[in-house]
Chains A and B, each alone.
Chain A
Amino acid sequence: MEHGLPKITLSDRERELVALLAQGHTDVSAAEKLGISARSVTNILRSLMDRLGVENRFQLGLALGFLRKANVPPPNPALPVDASGDNR
């Protein structure tokens, strides 16, 4: 079922942005976090939407979810912290 799917590769910047938005950040808060302007955020998403052939955020989400692209802040396997050690 996967074979007809287009392949796209996200740049690091795109991946970071998508990850933040997936966690519920707004454009503005994501921009702050990435140290770029809100306008750049719009541009990055615009270009991603163009590449995926979609017109709005809902469709963008659908496409990325469908392609299983997106949104992990990459785990840091070098120090796989004891995952239960959340004892604050």
Chain B
Amino acid sequence: MTSSHVPVGAAVPSLVRWGLTSDADLVFRTLVTFGPRTRRMLAAELGLPPRRTDQALAELRECGAAMSTDDGGSAARVWTARRPSDVVSVLRSRRIRIVDAQAKARSHHGVVHALRTATAGLGLPALTAPGSAGSFADGLRYLVTREQARQRLAEVLRAEVREFLTMSNEQAFDAESARAAAPLDMALFTRGVQVRVLAAPPADGDPLDVSGHLVNATSFQRRETPDVPLKLMVVDRQLSLLPADPLNLERGYLEVSQPALVQGLLGVFDRLWSGAMPPERFALPAVQLSDRERGLIALLAAGYTDHSAAVRLRISTRSVTGVMRSLMDRLGVENRFQLGLALGALRAAVPPSLTSPAGPEPASDQES
């Protein structure tokens, strides 16, 4: 109990609010308050079973809240907490992260570019779809439509396969893809194919996750990471599919069977998988809004000021500030802009300009 990071009894922010378990929170507090410890010391002092202590430590390590020395076996490792303010800011930035299409396209091209430079002379097209269908280089094939890609995938998976890896940076799935994926997932599951799904956390706790109920610890695993750089499927470490044009999935997929390229793509998957974690750690927690909060947000979304909203609701302006403050605390944000982002992503409210028939502006000249 010699090294002390913060004075005993000082306020340490609750990590539960950020989706961590209460065990993890407890262990974190202990490390922050009483300094580095081994897992055995933690278990003994907290009266936690070793298994729960280990889980809590794993959780803290996954989100960067604690780190360990690497020497010796796990029993000898000494665990240290990161500064609470740093931890909170990491958790916060992860949580209100929303990826838009342009950023997705950029990261997709980043991966493709890296592969082309890493493995000289490869025929991987730099950008979007090549002009013609069919094979255009060894081990590369262009499936011109999304539907064709789906059929090809189904065909491949009907054969004897052992492993299917998939990662996606979609934060919301359209109903059609979900319908297409569901029977496939189910079939793979019943056949005992090893399936690993790596996904971006849904922006709003998306309900349309068809594979969720299949997840078990053995053949069907799912993890989440906010950094999925592209959409990718790999079958038996031999064949992979990636979108020809990340901005428009309807333009089909590239089928890649060139060993060096498949290896490169697998490398990306494996690295991300090892750093990713089971779902719901990052997801925005469901926010239950009270009637008063809902009413106030609706008015502010419609362009009312604090004052005019207060008048309308027959409460004081101070109360308006108070309601907003408590909402910001619950969502873990610091200002009205961030609060708007979070509520918008949660579909809790929308400014009328976005839903009115006129809309803010025609899309045509803005869209690339």
- Hey, which bits of chain A sit against chain B, CB under 8 A? 2, 4-10, 15, 21-24, 51-72, 74-80, 82-88
Contact present for B366 and A82 (CB under 8 Å): no
Contact present for A59 and B351 (CB under 8 Å): yes
Contact present for A61 and B268 (CB under 8 Å): no
Given A7-B363, A7-B366, A78-B113, are A63 and B336 also a contact pair (CB < 8 Å)?
A: no
- Hey, which bits of chain B sit against chain A, CB under 8 A? 61-62, 64, 67, 70, 89, 92-93, 96-100, 102-103, 106-108, 110-111, 113-114, 171-172, 203, 225-227, 229-230, 268, 271-272, 274-276, 300-301, 303, 305, 333-347, 349-351, 353-355, 359-363, 366-368
Contact present for A59 and B340 (CB under 8 Å): yes
Give bound CA distance, A79 to B113, whole Å.
11
Give bound CA distance, A85 to B103, whole Å.
24
Contact present for B100 and A53 (CB under 8 Å): no
Total A-B residue contacts, Cβ distance less than 8 Å: 193
**B359 proximity list for chain A (CB < 8 A):** 6, 53
Which 6 A-B pairs have CB atoms at the shortest separation, nearest pair first?
Answer: A61-B340, A65-B344, A83-B275, A53-B353, A77-B229, A53-B360
Contact partner of B354 (CB less than 8 A), chosen from A23, A56, A58, A63, is A63
Contact present for A7 and B337 (CB under 8 Å): no
Give bound CA distance, A51 to B203, whole Å.
23
**A67 proximity list for chain B (CB < 8 A):** 100, 344, 354
Give bound CA distance, A66 to B354, whole Å.
9
Output the least CB separation between B45 and chain A (Å). 24
Output the least CB separation between A76 and chain B (Å). 7
Give bound CA distance, A2 to B92, whole Å.
26
**A75 proximity list for chain B (CB < 8 A):** 107, 226-227, 229
